[in-house]
């Protein structure tokens, strides 16, 4: 796809060379210094946004707080109707938005389109949810009394998203928050600001068409300092932050200091266990996509392959052969399996990780390296690497956002593999490849995987909208998307109604006057 056609796609989204980085609905708020977005595909300047000032942030928060007073009174099914229209608008703009995701972030076009489909799917889920924001009814111990619980909107929800899923994670939060009656202020990654501008315009147009307050959806941009505006602000009822463990710890401490609420989606160090009873064809597919998809820049990317000694050589040989067939290049070319890393800093991190793990004693089975030549002129293209290592190595214990797959060998029963799987500080996604029912159940048991996601005979990446997404330990403990994750965007209230002519006290207490 040519640069000209990319610009045509951007024009369909209302994205230009210069864009406002602070928006209240469709209204632009003046900012100051620029963030320039260069594509990792070919190093071309796509466009820029201005950053949010203190004054602009205050304007956003005033508008959002005022909008909440109206939005929370709209019946939930009517809020769901607005989200339904947003989903329909995304359907009509799936192609250009998917292309922007691919071009600005660097993931394959198929994955860019898939990310927009996730946005559409969460809108569909949220629309149904808008008629099911239910609480429980409970029997009271007092005669003539009824107890029940209900959920009310929280307020302003601040969303801090990462570059690797520049649109889907925002939509996971925004769609649910909106049907719950909250309003949203979004700070997208400074590495993918134009995706933020495009999505804000799409949603804001729908909100305007429904004659709703523009402050229901707001956009801010900038570096960590703008994020600090949000985390320290008591008007932010909930901070949903996706990013590194280091960033998450800072956010958690700041928000906790004001007793605010957080939803944290942080690092992953995800493993697939390959047992003696594994289907090797399925294992190969799951491992290669998990390790190479999005150039290893998913929080659910497969970092470690824990292989039983009886299968180790066969799996290693098959992986090395498969890696030799991978096509790396322009992600807008659907023949390519892998595109670039997000920027040259990510490339340096990738190179440094390989150097360090080799110094620890690891063996490079597929060496990796930085690609050069005209088609790789951005300097962001690397070859995926396979490394024979040990679980205790420092670099194996850390998450490197790059296509590096560590092969680890285990012997003995499945419990030994599970111990290796759990022997890291992160706890996001995990998987086991086995046709042995006992092994699968042991992996899923309370003594099994300690991750928020545990899969059998599929890889570590590719979560569906219907299930709650998130992880334990230093992954942060947050849950987004499906199941009952909606409850984090609402406040619970317990109600007791006395319909009798007397006032009996709980626990049989008497208080005579």
The residues annotated as belonging to the active site are 265, 299
Residue 454 three-state SS = strand
68: β partners: none
| Short-list 93, 144, 143, CA closest to 119 | 93
Query: Could you say which DSSP state residue 48 is in?
Result: E
Task: Give the integer Cα–Cα distance in Å for 244 and 273.
Answer: 25
The sign one gets for the Cα dihedral 229, 232, 238, 244 is positive
Q: How is residue 498 written in tokens?
A: 């006395």
Task: Give the integer Cα–Cα distance in Å for 118 and 120.
Answer: 5
Compute how many other C-beta atoms are within 10 angstroms of the C-beta atom of residue 185. 26
Q: How is residue 86 written in tokens?
A: 């947003």
The sign one gets for the Cα dihedral 141, 145, 151, 153 is negative
**Integer angstrom CA distances of residue 382 from 12, 326, 348, 402:** 32, 12, 10, 9
**Alpha helices (H) in 221-343, listed in sequence order:** 224-231, 245-257, 280-292, 312-323
**Integer angstrom CA distances of residue 439 from 282, 415, 442, 492:** 17, 9, 5, 39
Strands 217-219 and 23-24: antiparallel
What phi and psi, each to the nearest 5 degrees, are found at residue 90? Answer: -65, -35
Task: Give the integer Cα–Cα distance in Å for 383 and 325.
Answer: 12
**Alpha helices (H) in 37-93, listed in sequence order:** 54-71, 76-92
Length of the chain: 513
């Amino acid at each position: 796809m040519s640069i000209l056609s990319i610009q045509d796609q951007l024009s369909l989204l209302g994205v230009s060379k210069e864009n406002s980085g602070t928006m209240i609905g469709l209204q632009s708020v003046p900012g100051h210094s620029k963030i320039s977005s260069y594509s990792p595909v070919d190093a071309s300047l796509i466009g820029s946004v201005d950053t949010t000032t203190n004054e602009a942030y205050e304007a956003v928060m005033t508008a959002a707080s005022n909008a909440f007073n109206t939005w929370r009174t709209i019946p939930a099914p009517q809020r769901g109707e607005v989200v339904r229209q947003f989903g329909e608008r995304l359907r009509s703009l799936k192609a250009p938005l998917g292309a922007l995701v691919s071009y600005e972030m660097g993931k394959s076009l198929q994955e860019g389109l898939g990310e927009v489909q996730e946005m559409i799917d969460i809108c569909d889920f949220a629309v149904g949810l808008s008629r099911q924001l239910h609480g429980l009814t409970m029997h009271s111990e007092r005669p003539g009394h009824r107890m029940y619980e209900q959920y009310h909107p929280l307020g302003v929800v601040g969303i801090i998203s990462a570059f690797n899923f520049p649109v889907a994670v925002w939509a996971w939060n925004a769609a649910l928050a909106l049907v719950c009656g909250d309003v949203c202020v979004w700070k997208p990654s400074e590495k993918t600001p134009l995706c933020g501008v495009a999505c804000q315009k799409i949603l804001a147009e729908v909100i305007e068409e429904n004659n709703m307050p523009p402050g229901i959806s707001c956009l801010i941009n900038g570096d960590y300092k703008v994020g600090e505006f949000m985390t320290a602000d008591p008007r932010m009822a909930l901070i949903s932050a996706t990013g590194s463990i280091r960033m998450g710890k800072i956010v958690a401490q700041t928000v906790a200091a004001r007793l605010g609420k957080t939803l944290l989606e942080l690092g992953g160090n995800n493993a697939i266990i390959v047992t003696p009873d594994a289907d090797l064809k399925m294992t190969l597919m799951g491992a290669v996509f998990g390790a190479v998809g999005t150039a290893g820049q998913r929080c659910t990317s497969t970092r470690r392959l824990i292989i039983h000694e009886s299968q180790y050589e066969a799996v290693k040989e098959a992986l090395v052969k498969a890696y030799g067939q991978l096509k790396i290049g322009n992600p807008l070319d659907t023949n390519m399996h892998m595109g670039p890393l997000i920027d040259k800093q990510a490339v340096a991190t990738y190179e440094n990780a390989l150097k360090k793990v080799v110094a620890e004693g690891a063996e490079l089975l597929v060496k990796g390296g930085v690609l050069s030549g005209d088609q790789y002129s951005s300097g962001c293209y690397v070859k995926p690497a396979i490394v024979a290592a040990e679980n205790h190595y420092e670099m194996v214990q850390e998450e490197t956002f790059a296509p590096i797959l560590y092969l680890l060998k285990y012997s003995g029963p499945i419990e030994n593999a599970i111990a290796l799987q759990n022997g890291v500080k992160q706890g996001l996604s995990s998987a086991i490849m086995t046709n042995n029912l006992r092994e699968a159940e042991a992996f899923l048991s309370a003594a099994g995987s300690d991750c928020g996601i545990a899969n059998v005979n599929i890889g570590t990446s590719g979560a569906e909208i219907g299930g709650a997404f998130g992880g334990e330990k230093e992954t942060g403990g947050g849950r987004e998307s499906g199941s009952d994750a909606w409850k984090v965007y609402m406040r619970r209230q317990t109600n007791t109604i006395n319909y009798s002519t007397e006032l009996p006290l709980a626990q049989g207490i008497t208080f005579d006057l």
